Chain A
Amino acid sequence: MTPYVTSLRAIVGREALRFIHQRERFIAALVRPLVWLLVFAAGFQAALGLSIIPPYQTYIAYETYIVPGLCGMIMLFNGMQSSLSLVYDREMGSMKLLLTAPLPRWWLLFCKLAGATAISILQVYAFLAIAALYGINMPPLGYITVLPALAVAGLMLGALGLLLSSFIKQLENFAGVMNFVIFPMFFLSSALYPLWKMAESSKLLHDICALNPFTHAVELIRFALYVQFNAAALGWTLLAAAVFVAAALWGYNPSRTGMSRRG
């Protein structure tokens, strides 16, 4: 086995072990979208009329509409959580252990990203299973075709977390960033309402939503769940992922003096 594969397995394995040890985190990650699905969606069902828009071929209940958005929410929270753990690792020193391994830094960071994404995907499947028990079913094939979409969305949001972690110097600054990243990203997207609804109330908000990479990640997941391919959504999500990864690698570059402010 090459050192690359060995290190990938170890880093992903460690992320998984850490996740298993934090059972509260797993439960919290599941309860959050379930509250939205079972409470919020039930209340909004009556208020929000949805017309037939792709990929749906018939009128759908609001609960069905928000499932892909809630999958995205799980991944968004997870991306930020893994970024939080990176900042924690840096304060605690275990990040140093990782970054001094004799492998290229981009690979080590990619392994971290892959670990976080794998955990996100497991959580999304747990959520989809509960939603199915509740009666919100996708086409059976959709549960398979959504996998690559989740991987791309998870990598993009994980890369955003990585980027944030390279610029956040202290754990205490994190809560503010979460509020400025998670909430705007989630609410200014197509997760809770279709974009045409948004356009009815404000053109500007609609345009912001259309620019938000999270919107495209959600649409990618939504189409994939119905065994359809949304090339534009994939393109924008990949582009956003590439930009975030490039910026994060720059942020973690050892010759950038900003890295060194904390010994």
Chain B
Amino acid sequence: MTGLSVKDITYRYGAKTALDGVSFDIPQGAFCALLGPNGAGKSTLFSLLTRLFVAPVGQIDIAGHNLARDPRAALAKLGIVFQQPTLDLDLSVRQNLSYFAALHGLSGREARTRIDSSLERLDMLPRAHEKARSLNGGHRRRAEIARALIHTPSVLLLDEPTVGLDAAARAAITGHVHRLAQDGTTILWATHLTDEVWPGDQLVVLHHAKVLTQGIASQIAGDMPLRDRFLAMTAAPA
């Protein structure tokens, strides 16, 4: 079954083409890394996947729901971790998560149970009562990932979630999210850092608004480290 399907997406800002005929499918429960240098079109693709804006051409299906025809059903299946931090720093972790739960129509005991279990999954339950401002960068990110899981989405999108974190926090978060995929959540993880991609991951390489290649990371890397392969691919004129 397909977790996330992107077909023939093209998007322009005036004369500049941000995405040109982008297509890929991610099977349910797979971890797919969307690798691309800065400016490749990753953030535009995320804005289209989250319906912050709408693509005039192409089709997006989230867990079988068409985003254009049935946006609310599709968005209900989607968990999102934005590149920018979106926690309200004056509120506690739990208050932040409760606000989000309510946006998804969850309140009362059900919301509390779900918030507890998703904080538990990210080892964040002991910090539930701390103000977001007092958390370090890695813990803030984990709180945001926990928040994105409250409504048990089938597909989780993460837009460069490790920006600004130290190596240990990066490794911890990358590990956490890979485990979520093993539990059956479809993951799309945008990054420009090859060390966040594991050999068995699905990989889509985006460059100059187009999909340069896609497949299993280890097969794309071939006989050289993925980092070198990626640099070689993106250095060549597209």
Contacts and interface: CB of A to CB of B under 8 A. Distances in A.
Chain B associates with chain A: yes
Interface of A: 1-3, 6-7, 9-11, 13-14, 17-18, 21, 92-94, 96-104, 108, 254-257, 259-261, 263
A103 B100 CA distance: 12
Nearest to B84: A93
Contacts of B80: 96-97, 100
Contacts of B71: 102
Contacts of A108: 103
Nearest to A1: B107
A13 B86 CA distance: 17
Interface string B8-21: 00000110000000
B85 interface: yes
A1 B107 CA distance: 8
A102 B85 contact: no
Given A18-B90, A93-B84, A260 B102 contact: no
B86 A3 contact: no
Interface in B195-225: none
Nearest to B43: A263
A14 B105 contact: no
**Which size bracket describes the interface of B in this complex?**
35 or more
B168 to A, nearest CB: 25
Contacts of B115: none
A100 B53 contact: no
A260 B47 CA distance: 8
Contacts of B56: 255
Interface string B62-75: 00000000011101
Interface string B88-114: 101100010011101111111000000
- Residues of A contacting B: mostly: helix
B171 interface: no
B230 to A, nearest CB: 22
A6 B100 contact: no
Given A92-B84, A93-B82, A102-B104, A255 B73 contact: no
B41 to A, nearest CB: 10
Given A18-B90, A260-B47, A104 B53 contact: no
22 contacts: A3-B105, A7-B102, A9-B107, A10-B107, A11-B103, A17-B91, A18-B88, A18-B90, A92-B84, A92-B85, A94-B86, A97-B82, A97-B103, A100-B50, A101-B103, A254-B53, A254-B54, A255-B54, A257-B53, A260-B44, A260-B47, A263-B43
Nearest to A2: B105
A121 to B, nearest CB: 22
Nearest to B86: A93
B190 to A, nearest CB: 12
A93 B99 contact: no
A100 B52 contact: yes
B165 interface: no
A21 B90 contact: yes
Given A97-B86, A97-B100, A254 B13 contact: no
A263 B76 contact: no
A26 to B, nearest CB: 15
A102 B88 contact: no
A7 B105 contact: yes
B52 A6 contact: no
A10 B97 CA distance: 11
B158 interface: no
Contacts of A18: 88, 90
A92 B53 contact: no
B51 interface: yes
A94 B57 CA distance: 27
Contacts of B145: none
A104 B72 contact: yes
Given A10-B98, A14-B88, A92-B84, A99 B52 contact: yes
A60 to B, nearest CB: 43
Contacts of B35: none
A97 B47 CA distance: 12
A10 B103 contact: yes
Contacts of A255: 53-54, 56
A100 B103 CA distance: 9
Given A254-B51, A257-B13, A260-B53, A93 B106 contact: no
Shortest 6 CB-CB contacts between residues of A and residues of B:
A3-B105, A10-B102, A93-B84, A101-B103, A102-B76, A255-B54
